[in-house]
């Protein structure tokens, strides 16, 4: 399964990220299929640049963005909304014990 995710580069304490398409089972800094952009959180404001056409093409091919990348895709208009977690309500043990 292909994922669109961040690949960390840069020195220790000076992170810089590449936005890449890679196999979900590969390590974070492993072999990539394609690099489609970059993200630098150290600038004011943070620098985020992505090839929208390439990102759209990979999304159409079935690549899934990680939560962090999905947030930026929503801001850019590549995704309509974020789909997070399950639709089950959050219950705790105390609530379950009270129902019995």
Q: What angle is formed at CA 79 by the lines to CA 76 and CA 24, rounded to 5 degrees?
A: 105
Main-chain dihedrals φ then ψ at residue 6, nearest 5 degrees:
-90, 140
Average pLDDT over every residue of 10-24: 90
Name the pLDDT band for 89 (thresholds 50, 70, 90): very low
| pTM given for the model | 0.73
On the question of pLDDT at 77 being above 80, the answer is yes
How many Å apart are CA 87 and CA 34, to the nearest integer? 33
For the chain, what are the domain ranges? 2-76
Q: Which CATH fold topology does 2-76 show? A: S16 Ribosomal Protein; Chain: A; (3.30.1320)
Q: Which residue has the higher pLDDT, 95 or 13?
A: 13
Nearby residues of 97 by Cβ (< 8 Å), 6 or more positions away: none
Note the pLDDT of residue 83: 64
Going by C-alpha positions, the residue among 17, 11, 20, 54 that lies closest to residue 39 is 17
């Amino acid at each position: 399964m292909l994922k669109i995710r961040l690949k960390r580069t840069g020195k220790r304490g000076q992170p810089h990220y590449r936005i890449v398409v890679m196999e979900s089972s590969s390590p974070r800094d492993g072999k990539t299929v394609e690099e489609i952009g970059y993200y630098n959180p150290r600038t004011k404001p943070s620098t985020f640049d992505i090839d929208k056409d390439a990102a759209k093409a990979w999304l159409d091919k079935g690549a899934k963005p990680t939560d962090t990348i999905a947030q930026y895709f929503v801001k850019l208009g590549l995704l309509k909304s974020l789909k997070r977690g399950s639709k089950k309500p959050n219950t705790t043990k105390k609530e379950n014990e009270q129902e019995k």
